Amino acid sequence: EHDIGGLVRPDDGLVSPEIFHDRELFDFESRRLFMRTWLYVGHESQLRKRGDFISTYMGLNPVLVVRQNDGGTKVVLNACRHRGMKVCRADSGNTRAFTCTFHGWSYGLDGALNNVPMQQAAYGDALDRGKFGLVQVPRVETYKGLIFANFDEDAPSLPEYLGDMAWYLDALVDRREGGIEVLGGVHKIVHRGNWKMGAEQFAGDNYHAFLTHVSASMSWRDADHEADPNPLKPGFQYSSRAGHGLAGWRKNGMDDAPYVPSADYELVAQYYRDTAAEVRDRLGAERVDGPSLGAGNVFPNFSFLTRVFCHSSIGIWHPVTPDTFQYWRYCVVDKAAPAEVKRAIMNNMHVWPLGVADSDDGENWSEISANLIGPAVRDVPLNYQMGMGRGLRDHPRFPGIITESYVAEESHRNFYRRWREFMTSEKYPAIGADEPAIATSSSEGR
Ligand code: FES
Ligand code: FE
């Protein structure tokens, strides 16, 4: 039995490395956290016709997201009721039935067990097929095309769960009429590390970029694109007591896009300039100035990049073992964008996993995981104290908790504050006390 309250002490800005390593905590987390939070499972643009499906995971559970005959969406466990085999082994596609490849039990789009080979000879009248359909995930809700599902009947609605994060998400999903669509397939990147390392980074770690990605950014320099000599850029961090977080920054103003060494850079940068006025009208200047360029994470493991290096993407940090996770990343584009711009945005995204930035982050995560084998390393807490007591609760321009700095760790502390609430509560946890204000720093540093 772990003393989770002792391992994770966000009020002191301290987190034990054990939460990135311990097997029992990982197993406990797979139920306590991943069977109660709203988890991203797919985008409506991937399910256009009846029978379209996506195969993904909710925590450790394999699931199928399926467009129904009536146009609705169901999420079912991808596990046969006979011996537990996957009933679908494709990433995505279109089908009329999911037929298990072990003994051939066959399920409809709604998960009903419709056919059992040799049923009469094998079972006589003893098999009640109605009781052995695929397990349904009871809650499925969408936010502007993003499909989320939840195993917990007691969880609040998706809008309530997202809270003020929805305002920031709009800068990604609602820039233009028609919203966004997922383009192309999926990058699946296997990382050594704990899934929380990726999630907390997207929830607000601008601090790593100037050093971790220094070689990438140096290699991007050319005659027209000088390296930025100042690592501390204008920016802010959004943090939510619900565990969500976002790192926002700006480069050369809201209409521009950070350089990426791609033949398609100019085409996409011009598209962002051309649509800037329309987007500003639609979302308001505040939202365009602030969150329209940055990285975010919806608690616990759905992340996104908005217009970063001339592309936008959404991703999931799938846990696999305590020290392995998969990062699944999808390119997203404005549905209203011209076809050649959509293709160019996708080309810009492909630069990332092909050795540019993802490998930099992955090296940190795998080195940390290797270090955590050492019990002495796990005995000392890690420092999450940056910007303590500096989050503004009533910011004049942005909703949520705002730290007016490019670098901060309040969103990390709130990520682990919320994580601890899920891990220590038997019932769906209410959101508890806020970060204590530190009297001495409330007037300084703001
Ligand atoms: Fe699926 Fe036997 S495991 S039919
Ligand atoms: Fe990074």
Give the mean model confidence (pLDDT) for residues 35-60: 98
C-beta separation of 158 from 169 below 8 A: no
**pLDDT tens track for 6-21:** 999 999 999 999 999 9
CA of 135 to the centre of ligand 1 (A): 15
Q: Are residues 114 and 175 in the same domain?
A: no
Q: Which residue CA neighbors atom 3 of ligand 1 most closely?
A: 83
CA of 79 to the centre of ligand 1 (A): 9
**pLDDT tens track for 91-104:** 999 999 999 999 99
Which atom number of ligand 1 is nearest to the Cα of residue 80?
Answer: 1
Domain annotation covers residue 293: yes
Residue among 77, 98, 103, 135 to mutate when testing ligand 1 (max atoms within 8 A of CB)? 103
In the prediction, which pLDDT does 444 show?
40
Residues in CB range of 214: below 8 A, 6 or more apart: none
**pLDDT tens track for 184-229:** 999 999 999 999 999 999 999 999 988 998 887 777 776 666 666 6
Give the mean model confidence (pLDDT) for residues 279-288: 88
CA of 244 to the centre of ligand 2 (A): 18
Task: Write the single-letter amino acid at 59.
Answer: G
**pLDDT tens track for 233-255:** 888 999 999 999 999 886 555 56
In the prediction, which pLDDT does 352 show?
66
CA of 50 to the centre of ligand 2 (A): 38
Q: Residue 106 CA: which ligand is closest?
A: 1
Confidence band, pLDDT 50/70/90 cuts, at residue 40 = very high
Structure tokens at 379: 């005995």
In the prediction, which pLDDT does 253 show?
54
- In a 3-state reduction of DSSP, which class is residue 88? coil
Q: Are residues 310 and 384 in the same domain?
A: yes
Domain annotation covers residue 160: no
Q: Are residues 74 and 223 in the same domain?
A: no
Which atom number of ligand 1 is nearest to the Cα of residue 87?
Answer: 1
Residue among 85, 86, 98 to mutate when testing ligand 1 (max atoms within 8 A of CB)? 85
Q: CATH code at 78?
A: 2.102.10.10
Which atom number of ligand 1 is nearest to the Cα of residue 105?
Answer: 4
In the prediction, which pLDDT does 354 show?
58
DSSP H or E run through 297: strand 294-298
Q: Tell me the HSE value of 208 on the side-chain side, using a 13 A CA sphere.
A: 21
**pLDDT tens track for 200-212:** 999 999 999 889 9
Q: Are residues 190 and 291 in the same domain?
A: yes
State how far the Cα of 94 lies from the Cα of 47, in Å rounded to an integer. 9
Residues in the chain: 446
- In this structure, of 222-226, 257-261, 302-306, 418-422, the range with the lowest mean pLDDT score is 222-226
Confidence band, pLDDT 50/70/90 cuts, at residue 440 = very low
Which atom number of ligand 1 is nearest to the Cα of residue 85?
Answer: 3
The b-or-e profile of 58-82 (16+ CB within 10 A means b, else e) is: bbbbbbbbbbeeeeebbbbbbbbbe
Of 107, 140, 173, which residue constitutes the final position of a domain?
140
Domain of residue 120, residue span: 39-140
Q: Are residues 114 and 46 in the same domain?
A: yes
CA of 106 to the centre of ligand 1 (A): 9
In the prediction, which pLDDT does 220 show?
72
Domain annotation covers residue 386: yes
Domain annotation covers residue 379: yes
CA of 309 to the centre of ligand 2 (A): 12
Q: Which residues line ligand 1 (CB under 6 A)?
A: 80, 82-83, 85, 100, 102-105
State how far the Cα of 63 lies from the Cα of 57, in Å rounded to an integer. 5
Residue among 100, 114, 115 to mutate when testing ligand 1 (max atoms within 8 A of CB)? 100
CA of 88 to the centre of ligand 1 (A): 11
Which atom number of ligand 1 is nearest to the Cα of residue 100?
Answer: 1
Residue found by looking up tokens 């390296």 in the block: 227
Q: Are residues 110 and 214 in the same domain?
A: no
Q: Residue 105 CA: which ligand is closest?
A: 1
Structure tokens at 142: 């969408």
Q: Residue 115 CA: which ligand is closest?
A: 1
In the prediction, which pLDDT does 441 show?
41
Give the mean model confidence (pLDDT) for residues 164-177: 95
Q: Are residues 240 and 365 in the same domain?
A: yes
- The distance in angstroms from the start CA to the end CA of the chain is 41
CA of 203 to the centre of ligand 2 (A): 11
CA of 77 to the centre of ligand 1 (A): 14
State how far the Cα of 334 lies from the Cα of 181, in Å rounded to an integer. 6
Positive or negative: CA dihedral 143, 148, 152, 153:
positive
Domain annotation covers residue 307: yes
C-beta separation of 378 from 17 below 8 A: yes
State how far the Cα of 251 lies from the Cα of 254, in Å rounded to an integer. 8
Residue 401 forms beta bridges with which residues?
Answer: 239
Domain annotation covers residue 145: no
CA of 360 to the centre of ligand 2 (A): 7
Domain count, the chain: 2
Does the structure show a pLDDT above 90 at 356? Answer: no
Query: How would you class 24 by CB atoms within 10 Å of its CB: exposed for 0-12, middle for 13-18, buried for 19 or more?
Result: exposed
401-403 and 39-43 strand pairing: unpaired
- In this structure, of 134-138, 318-322, 351-355, 408-412, the range with the lowest mean pLDDT score is 351-355
State how far the Cα of 227 lies from the Cα of 367, in Å rounded to an integer. 27
C-beta separation of 147 from 41 below 8 A: yes
Q: Are residues 57 and 190 in the same domain?
A: no
Q: Which residue CA neighbors atom 4 of ligand 1 most closely?
A: 103
CA of 324 to the centre of ligand 2 (A): 18
Residues in CB range of 365: below 8 A, 6 or more apart: 191, 192, 193, 194, 197, 198
Q: For the chain, what percentages of helix, strand and coil (3-state, to nearest 5) are there?
A: 30, 25, 45
In the prediction, which pLDDT does 135 show?
98
Which atom number of ligand 1 is nearest to the Cα of residue 103?
Answer: 4
Residues in CB range of 313: below 8 A, 6 or more apart: 304, 305, 329, 330, 331, 332, 349
Give the mean model confidence (pLDDT) for residues 307-336: 94
Q: Are residues 122 and 260 in the same domain?
A: no
DSSP at 95: -
Per cent of the chain over pLDDT 70 is 92
Q: Are residues 321 and 371 in the same domain?
A: yes
Residue among 105, 119, 129, 132 to mutate when testing ligand 1 (max atoms within 8 A of CB)? 105
Task: Write the single-letter amino acid at 346.
Answer: M
Q: Are residues 114 and 182 in the same domain?
A: no
ipTM value, please give it: 0.98
Q: CATH code at 192?
A: 3.90.380.10
Which atom number of ligand 1 is nearest to the Cα of residue 104?
Answer: 4
Q: Which residue CA neighbors atom 2 of ligand 1 most closely?
A: 103
